[in-house]
Structure 1
Amino acid sequence: MEECVRRERILEAACKVLQKHGYHGASMDKVAECSGMSKRTLYKMFPSKLELFQILIRDRLFDVRPQVAPEATTAEEELTSLLIDLARTILRPDRISLIRAIITESSESEDVREIIATLETGGDDNALETWLQAYCRQHGYARTNVRSWGKMLFGMTVGDFIFETLGCAQKPLTCDAIQQRTGMAVRIFLSGLKSIHPA
């Protein structure tokens, strides 16, 4: 079995173990058993439980690479398509289950809080921030806090969808609702940027 296949199998098992037993109840023994791998293989790829769960959370929730739709021609269409692709990825049932497990564990586990804090502050690979930086350069918006704007825009769109999904909204989100609400949020956001930085 190739290393990338073994790695994915272990991460999938770690996700299941976290959801079933929580971080404190999760053990390398349980992950090894669930993955059908030996503990030796597990420790060879992931030296500790903390590192295993840090990689799991990073890969499944923070290392998401949304794409701009090729047919997008305007800034509004590009940004809308980027956020919709991000929402589609993060709102998948397996990722929502992982988010639920992390929320449950974050109040109980210092390790989980540390993992989230480390991942949240790091990462130059944020597609939304990268798009915003390019947009600001193109329009001459100097000295902008792109990280803050990215968080704001994420909160208006994907963050709101996550909150709604976790809150077990009476009606599940439809693709049309995600598209309409994202488009409206992007229009409001881009208009706001223009008003802060008049031509």
Structure 2
Amino acid sequence: MENSNSHKLNEASQAFMEEKPRCGRPPEMEECVRRERILEAACKVLQKHGYHGASMDKVAECSGMSKRTLYKMFPSKLELFQILIRERLFDVKPQVAPDAMTAEEELSTLLIDLACTILRPDRISLIRAIIAESSESGYVREIMAALEAGGEDNALEAWLQAYCRQQGYSNTNVRLWGKMLFGMTVGDFLLQALGCATQAPTCETIRHHTGVAVQIFLAGVQGVKPKG
């Protein structure tokens, strides 16, 4: 009987030792997860309160993080919202389909991917908040101007730059062409989404509209005399 009880006691003790680590402090959250949670909270706070009404206290509360953690990753409110706007709206990385065989297919798939990214509901909500705030907030206008001025890494402009070099358009104003093409495609969908459109355009609508716009654009490019 004593041996049996002793055996059971040893088993219980061993089980306790095996389970004990699970009762301790949970592992710390990965830094990238904390960062993403803070940015997500900042986005919600901006949409609800505007830039002036937003505060690091509100972001900390919304994210479930301490202010100490918040300030460790983002030294100021201005820097936090600069990073938020840049990453959500400016650091968009559209991709060209790997099986694209022609310039028309490459450009179309790039623009379609760009449209599908920008037209996501969370991005549209952020754009609405920025538009509503920018008319009254000099800080938000300064953020947007600074980010636009530094927006050299643009996938659409990079594609156009390579295409123009290949076609002999060495002195082309690629930034102007990029804005024109963006307005014909993604910009048009964006205006609809921000305006009175009752529903988002379907993937089929985006593909068709973009395909037609790219055909018109490239046909027009062929009619422009290359500058040496």
TM-score using structure 1 length: 0.97
Query: What corresponds to 1:175 in structure 2?
Result: 203
Q: What's the counterpart of residue 119 of structure 2?
A: 91
Paired position in structure 1 for 2:46:
18
Residue of structure 1 in register with 2:152 after alignment: 124
SS of 2:185's partner is: helix
Q: Aligned residue for 1:157?
A: 185
Partner of 2:141, secondary structure, is helix
Q: Report matched runs for 1:13-92 at 5 Å.
A: 13-92=41-120
Q: Which amino acid aligns with 1:99?
A: I
The secondary structure found in structure 2 opposite 1:53 is helix
Provide Cα deviations, 1:149-199, integer angstroms capped at 9, x if missing partner.
Answer: 111111111111010011131353111111111111111111111101269
Once residues 31 and 111 of structure 1 are traced to their aligned partners in structure 2, the CA distance between those partners, rounded to angstroms, is 18
Structure 1 residue 4, shift from structure 2 partner = 1.0
Cα distance in 1 for residues equivalent to 2:83 and 2:199:
33
Aligned equivalents of 2:145 and 2:211: distance in 1? Answer: 30
Q: TM-score, normalised by structure 2?
A: 0.85
Separation in structure 2 between the aligned mates of residue 92 and residue 107 of structure 1, nearest angstrom: 24
1:138 to 151, 162, 166: 166
Q: Between the two structures, name the one with larger relative contact order (CA 8 Å, sep ≥ 6).
A: 1
Distance in 1 (alpha carbons) for counterparts of 2:182 and 2:146 = 19
In 1, are the aligned partners of 2:169 and 2:226 still within 8 Å (CA)? no
SS in 1 for 2:95: coil
- What's the secondary structure of 1:68's corresponding residue? coil
* Aligned equivalent of 2:21: none
Give the 5 Å matches for 1:181-196: 181-196=209-224
Q: Which runs of 5+ in 2 are unaligned?
A: 1-28
| Deviation for aligned residue 1:37 | 0.6
Q: CA RMSD in A?
A: 1.2
The percentage of counterpart residues that share the same residue type is 79
2:213 partner amino acid: A
Letter paired with 2:86: R
Measure how far apart 1:119 and its partner are. 1.1
| SS class of match (2:78) | helix
Task: Tell me what 2:16 maps to.
Answer: none
The CA deviation string for residues 101-149 of structure 1, in whole angstroms up to 9 with x for no partner, is 0000000110100111111121232100000000001111120111111
Decide whether aligned partners of structure 1 residues 171 and 47 sit closer, same or farther in structure 2, where only a CA change above 3 A counts.
closer
Residues 164, 170 of structure 2: 8 Å contact kept: yes
Go from structure 1 to structure 2 and tell me whether the alpha carbon gap of 1:36 and 1:175 turns closer, same or farther (over 3 Å shift): same
SS in 1 for 2:169: coil
Distance in 1 (CA, whole Å) between partners of 2:44 and 2:199 is 27
Q: Which deviates further from its counterpart, 11-20 or 115-124?
A: 115-124
Asked whether 1:101 is paired with 2:129, we answer yes
Query: Could you list the runs of 5+ residues in structure 1 that have no partner in the other structure?
Result: none
Letter of the structure 1 residue corresponding to residue 170 of structure 2: A
In structure 2, how many angstroms separate the alpha carbons of the residues matched to 1:186 and 1:2? 43
